[in-house]
């Protein structure tokens, strides 16, 4: 797997667990409010080898109980399922952060019991996805991923970044309607400091 970064510990990114974060390299979205711009290029050289990650986790087995796989977009990685299985075989719970654009990968991860928690970002109303993600419309894929995750029985949440210059109150209402009953949806604050678009920085 192409890994662009490793955060040794977090107490806030995996609910109820002390975890490390593995950041995969490459994303198919280019959101102007993204704060991980260095992880967007698909052709960037991996910064950290898998052996380094697993060596680190081996030493932290009694200190951590979870691993967050974030990005970038992890579901673009060809060997994501195998990586997740190896992490779980070491005794760690796995949380996936995803933009929901690859429902077929999410289905595989769920079918093969590779993940213990999924957090999916709903970036914008479906009608505004091309505008705010810099890609072609992903509406059907986003709907499918939401349905898969909500029906999976796996712990999950949906989240939206409150980018006030870009998302209106009506946009937030439209996003909320996409979330199935019984699923948790959080609106998280926008941190402008490292935004991809200079115009959004303060």
Q: How far apart are CA 201 and CA 35, in angstroms?
A: 10
Q: Where are the domains of the chain?
A: 3-193
Backbone φ and ψ of 25, nearest 5°: -95, 130
pLDDT tens string 32-82 = 999 888 899 988 877 899 999 999 999 999 999 999 999 999 999 999 999
| Buried/exposed code over 169-188 (b: 16+ C-beta within 10 A; e: otherwise) | eebeebbeebbeeeeeeeee
Q: What is the 3-state secondary structure (H, E, C) of the chain?
A: CCEEEEEEEECCCCCCCCEEEEEECCCCCCCCCCCCHHHCCCCCCCCECHHHHHHHHHHCCCCCCEEEEECCCHHHCCCHHHHHHHHHHCCCEEEEEECCCCHHHHHHHHHCCCCCEEEEECCCCHHHHHHHHCCCCCHHHHHHHHHHHHHCCCEEEEEEEECCCCCCHHHHHHHHHHCCCCCCEEEEECCHHHCCCHHHCC
Place of tokens 């977090």: 10
Span 81-87, mean pLDDT? 98
CATH top class, domain 3-193: alpha beta
| Least trusted range by pLDDT, from 15-24, 31-40, 66-75, 190-199 | 190-199
Q: How far apart are CA 52 and CA 62, in angstroms?
A: 18
On average, the pLDDT of the chain sits at 95
Span 133-145, mean pLDDT? 92
pLDDT tens string 88-120 = 999 999 999 999 999 999 999 999 999 999 999
Span 172-192, mean pLDDT? 95
Span 26-32, mean pLDDT? 94
């Amino acid at each position: 797997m192409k890994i662009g970064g490793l955060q040794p510990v977090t107490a806030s990114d995996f609910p109820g667990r002390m975890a490390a974060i593995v950041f995969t390299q490459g994303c198919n979205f280019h959101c102007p409010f993204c704060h991980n711009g260095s992880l967007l290029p698909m052709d960037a050289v991996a910064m950290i080898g898998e052996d380094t990650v697993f060596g680190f986790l081996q030493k932290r087995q009694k200190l951590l109980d979870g691993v967050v796989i974030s990005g970038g977009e992890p579901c673009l990685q060809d060997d994501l399922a195998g990586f997740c299985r190896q992490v779980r075989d070491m005794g760690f719970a796995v949380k996936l952060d995803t933009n929901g654009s690859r429902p077929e990968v999410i289905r595989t991860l769920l079918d093969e019991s590779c993940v213990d928690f999924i957090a999916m970002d709903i970036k914008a109303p479906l009608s505004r996805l091309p505008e705010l993600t810099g890609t072609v419309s992903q509406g059907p894929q986003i709907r499918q991923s939401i349905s898969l995750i909500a029906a999976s029985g796996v712990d999950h949440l949906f989240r939206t970044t409150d980018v006030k210059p870009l998302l209106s109150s009506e946009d937030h209402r439209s996003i909320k309607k996409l979330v199935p009953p019984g699923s948790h949806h959080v609106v998280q604050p926008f941190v402008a400091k490292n935004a991809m678009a200079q115009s959004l920085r303060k």
